Amino acid sequence: MDVIIITGLSGSGKSTAIHAFEDMGMFCSDNLPVVLLPELVRIMRETKQSGGIVAGIDAREGEFLERFSEVHRRLVEEGNNVRVIFLDARDEVLIRRFSETRRRHPLGDMDVPLAIRHERELLAPLRAEANDCIDTSSMNVHQLKQHVVKHVNPNQSEKRLVVTLLSFGFKYGLPLEADLLFDLRFLPNPFFVPELSTKTGLDEPVREYVFNQADALEMLERMEGMLNFLIPLYEKEGKAYLTVAVGCTGGRHRSVAFAHRMKSFMDEKMPGYQAFIRHRDIEKG
C-alpha cells in the first residue's frame, strides 16, 4: 500500500499538502499518533480500501516522535511503499505566517522564534529520513498544491475541476451557488408557443425551436468559448468546483436546452473535466 507521511515545520503548509492528496482520493489523517500508523494500514488493507494513506505527523506528537524510525522501518518491511515528505520554510517566513494568521504555535507558551528553533530540533530525525524536502518559503497555497500533485506524487492522477451546469428560472430567484451566470431571457420564449408550452428543454421540439435562431447559436458559441477559456484558469487557481448557472424566465425551456448543449460541448471538447447537469426549476410552473 502507498503510505505518504507529511511532516515538517508548523506554518510550512502541511495542511495544504494533505488537502491536495485528499482531493486526489487518498485517505488522509492529520496528527495521527505515529505508533498507530501500522494499525491504520492493516485496517485499510483488510477493508480493501484503495488509493493509499496520507498521515500528517508533527511536533505535537511529543514522545511518539521517538518511535518514528521504528514505525517507518516496520512499514517498509511489511511491503508498503512509504514516502516521507518534509515541508520547511525560512524562519522569517514562518514568523510572518504566524503573525498573519494569528495562530498560536503548537509548542505552546514560548515566543515564535524560540518555538521554531525547538521544533527544528525535535523534527531533525524525521527530516533525515525524508524522501523529499520542500522549501515552501516562496509558495502560496495553490503553488504548493500544484507542486504536490505534479512533482511529489507523479503516479497519482490529479482530479480535475468538477463543473455543474445549472439551469434555473429567474422568477424563482438567483442561485446562490453560481460562480458564472448567463441570462437567456433575450431569446424568444417557447412557453408562448402553444404546442411547446407544456414541454421542456429535454424535448427535441423545444431544442429545435431554440437553436433554429441565429442569436441562440451565437450565444452558445460565445458561452462555450468562455468556458473553454475560464475553466482551466479557475482550476489553476485551485478551485475544485465550478457552478455555471444558465437562466431563463421559468427555468424549463431555454436554460434547460442550453445546459444540455454545453454538457455535450464539454464532453466532446473538454473531456478531462467532469460535467454534471442539474435542472433546479424544471418541475415548477
Chain Cα centroid distance, residue 275: 15
Q: Which residues are CB-contacts of 182 (< 8 A; sequence separation ≥ 6)?
A: 219, 223, 244, 245, 246, 247, 258
Grouping H, G, I as helix, E, B as strand and the rest as coil, residue 82 is strand
Q: Where are the alpha helices (DSSP H) in 3-161?
A: 14-23, 37-46, 68-77, 91-101, 112-128, 141-147
Distance between CA 251 and CA 190 in Å, rounded?
Answer: 11
pLDDT for the residue 97:
87
* pLDDT for residue 152: 62
Contact 8, 88 (CB under 8 A): yes
Residues of the chain with pLDDT below 70 are 102, 150-159
DSSP calls for 27-68: EEEES--GGGHHHHHHHHHHTT--S-EEEE--GGGGGGGGGH
The pLDDT value recorded for residue 143 is: 79
Ranges of each domain in the chain: 2-152, 162-279
Tens digit of pLDDT for each residue in 190-210? Answer: 999 999 999 999 999 999 999
Q: How far is CA 190 from CA 129, 156, 174, 182, 198, in A?
A: 67, 47, 21, 18, 9
User: What pLDDT shows up at residue 151?
Assistant: 61
pLDDT of residue 228: 95
CATH architecture of the domain 2-152 equals: 3-Layer(aba) Sandwich (3.40)
CB-based contact 192:245 (threshold 8 Å): no
